[in-house]
Amino acid sequence: MVQTVAWVTSLFFMIVVAAVFLIVVIKSKEKRDYEPIKKKWYKARTFYATILVIFFIVVTIYTLRELPYDQPVYGEEIKPTIVDVEALQFGWKMSETEFKVGEPIEFHVTSGDVTHGFGIYDENMNLIAQTQAMPAYTNKVYTTFDEPGTYEILCLEYCGLGHHVMIGKLEVTE
Amino acid sequence: MGCLEMTTIVDKGELKSRNSMIATYLVIGGAVIAVMMIFGVLMLLAQGGVLDLSPAAFYQFLTIHGTGMIGAAALAAVGLMWYFLRDYVELSKKVFTWNLILFLIALVMIIVGVFSFEYASAWTFLYPLPALSAGAWGIIGALLYLGGMLVLGTGFLLLYIDTGRAIIRKYGSLGKGLGWDVISGKKDVKDAPPATVIASTMVTIVNTTAIVAGAVVLIMNVINVINPAFTFDPLLAKNLTYAFGHIFANAIIYMGVIVVYEILPRYTNRKWAVNKSFLIAWTMSTAFTLVIYTHHMLMDSVMPKWMLIMGQALSYANGIPVLVVTAYGALMIVYKSGIKWDMASGLAFLSMFGWSVGVVPAIVDATIVVNHVMHNTKWVPGHFHMYMGLGAVVMLFAFMYYLAKVDSNLKPNGLDKLAFVCYTLAMISISAQFLVSGAISTPRRWATHFPEWMGPALFGAIAGVFLVIATSIFITHFIRYIIVRNKTGSDFYERKLA
């Protein structure tokens, strides 16, 4: 799951940052001449900066390979189900709410009033996909449900006092 | 002899009045931040299921918390920047005073708008929410809030016009303030502007842009509130809102870091070298801060795709100047320096940790595939509470202790040290609970939570209580400094530290 990867990765690097700062604090008690320190650590910085830039480039390329904006390539016989979604203070108007496992779906999401967020949650309340519901624009979400069950649509952009009651339901069957 | 005495008295009087305006900035900023923390705790208690808040009250708190935090931290950061920048360029005290007056007027307008007229659009006031509240608030509330934001922006804009004017006058241009003539080799690196001037130039450039963008979208909203028949493009409005909000919030840390540049060299007796990589890093920060706001719009697939990809790639790149130059510089200057740790130096170093560590979850969230399942979850407040709460705001507290130290004979006591530890642990806990909540998909800005989301919120609320206590101790120390100083004057100005 993406969230777990994000959390573990963040935790790892945050601990690394914390460790580096802690080591420097511990070492701050000693007193040495600054010139040799500068010489040594400027050299180390060139190495560190190079590694960091390469790392960022690799991660950027890797994570940009498949973007949620791209329409999936469907097989020849397969037509995706298009669901028109209109967000309104404070509810969801959807042209269809019952789907089959494995059915490719395109949610075409807009809003009738203010900006809302269209977030699809699975049965374990994990966010699996989202887009913004904007007035005057239509954003698309491409998804295929792998598991049957009741999925929920939660509003993910603050839209007024009923923001937290803006919950819709989708039924996915085998 | 008589003449010398006169000079001393005049200087002292001038210094006293100059520093008292700065102290006023800091004390107002600090006090507002502390009060906003209380609203934060109340919201977390409500989300944790132990406090029964009406949705109207919750979203009013949300609005005031965000607006107040950003506004107050920016105000205090301006005080900090002004204190150091005036040593290098000639700034207008009148403009400095006007910014404070306009801030206070704005504060009153915003408070009245939110609490008397129940305005609650959150501080992002996404068009057309100010006009379309589903009956929750009316025209007056919206106009007071939007008008208040405009007044606030006007004060800051005047101030940045003045810093820009002063920098151009001394260095020739804003480009030269960023050291472009040194980067291009026209000028020797030893003649490069000092770090404070470079940072102030960067902030002048980005915040002038931000405020102009903000003013445009605020005025468009005002017109729409008065006459709903007058509409405009919601996507353009969103771009302007985030250009304003992202830059203005981020500039706080770029102003705050000046205290780190100024005081760590004094504490360690080491020079913070302004070299070419330092200058390039600040030019990179200037450029990236201006354009990476699109990472707030990664979930708007109607945006041009290249802008969204740029939002990710440049957000990554924006981490480089911080991680490679600024934080690294702070680490180098402290490493084996025999530094004498006290409240000011300790907080300055902590702030660099907070900033660097906050970069990690920020970069993770700017990744489009991650953002697809974490945008607008509590991961987002998680990362910004980290680099604002543990970075930017800590810089402000570092400056408060520094000023009290060099400008009075007031000494921090054991309670201040306890507050330091308490603040650090509390802020780490608050950030962590937000990040954990984000990882389990808890949406942000929800007045109530499902039971499975309540635990982290409650934990955050408890940590928040300790945070409020620690912050109150910091501010009490600063208020004691103001009282002591008013009695004894400014004899201790610019005492040697190392």
| Total residue length of chain B | 498
CA atoms of A41 and B221, how far apart (whole Å): 51
Task: Give chain B's domains with CATH numbers.
Answer: 2-488 (1.20.210.10)
Strand order in the sheet with A116-121: A98-100, A167-173, A149-155, A116-121, A127-133
Asked if A166 and A91 count as a contact pair (C-beta separation under 8 A), the reply is yes
pTM of the model: 0.94
Q: Where are the domains of chain A?
A: 1-29, 32-67, 81-173
B465 in A contact zone (CB under 8 Å): no
Answer yes or no: do A37 and B335 touch at CB < 8 A: yes
B62 in A contact zone (CB under 8 Å): yes
B353 in A contact zone (CB under 8 Å): yes
Q: How far is A17 from chain B (nearest CA, A)?
A: 6
Q: What angle do CA B63, B123, B239 make, to 5 degrees?
A: 155
CA atoms of B314 and A159, how far apart (whole Å): 29
Answer yes or no: do A158 and B445 touch at CB < 8 A: yes
Which of A13, A34, A69 is the closest to B360 by Cβ?
A13
Which of B305, B331, B377 is the closest to A127 by Cβ?
B377
Which of A2, A28, A114 is the closest to B369 by Cβ?
A2
B415 in A contact zone (CB under 8 Å): no
What's residue B17's pLDDT?
61
Answer yes or no: do A14 and B299 touch at CB < 8 A: no
Using alpha carbons, select from B33, B11, B9 the residue that is nearest to residue B400. B33
pLDDT digits (tens, 9 = 90+) for A3-29: 999 999 999 999 999 999 999 999 999
CA atoms of B189 and B182, how far apart (whole Å): 6
CATH node for A81-173: 2.60.40.420
Low-confidence residues of chain A: pLDDT under 70: none
CA atoms of A145 and A138, how far apart (whole Å): 22
Q: B137, B332, B359: best mutation site toward chain A, by most A Cβ within 10 Å?
A: B332
A138 in B contact zone (CB under 8 Å): yes
Q: Is B142 exposed, middle or buried (0-12, 13-18, 19+ CB in 10 A)?
A: buried
Tell me what ipTM this predicted complex has.
0.96
Tens place of pLDDT per residue across chain B (498 aa)? 334 333 333 344 455 566 889 999 999 999 999 999 999 999 999 999 999 999 999 999 999 999 999 999 999 999 999 999 999 999 999 999 999 999 999 999 999 999 999 999 999 999 999 999 999 999 999 999 999 999 999 999 999 999 999 999 999 999 999 999 999 999 999 999 999 999 999 999 999 999 999 999 999 999 999 999 999 999 999 999 999 999 999 999 999 999 999 999 999 999 998 999 999 999 999 999 999 999 999 999 999 999 999 999 999 999 999 899 999 999 999 999 999 999 999 999 999 999 999 999 999 999 999 999 999 999 999 999 999 999 999 999 999 999 999 998 899 999 999 999 999 999 999 999 999 999 999 999 999 999 999 999 999 999 999 999 999 999 999 999 999 988 766 554 555 454
Dihedral (Cα; A96, A97, A103, A104), 10-degree rounding:
60
Asked if B197 and A99 count as a contact pair (C-beta separation under 8 A), the reply is no
Q: How far is A117 from chain B (nearest CA, A)?
A: 8
- Tell me phi and psi for residue A108, to 5 degrees: -100, 105
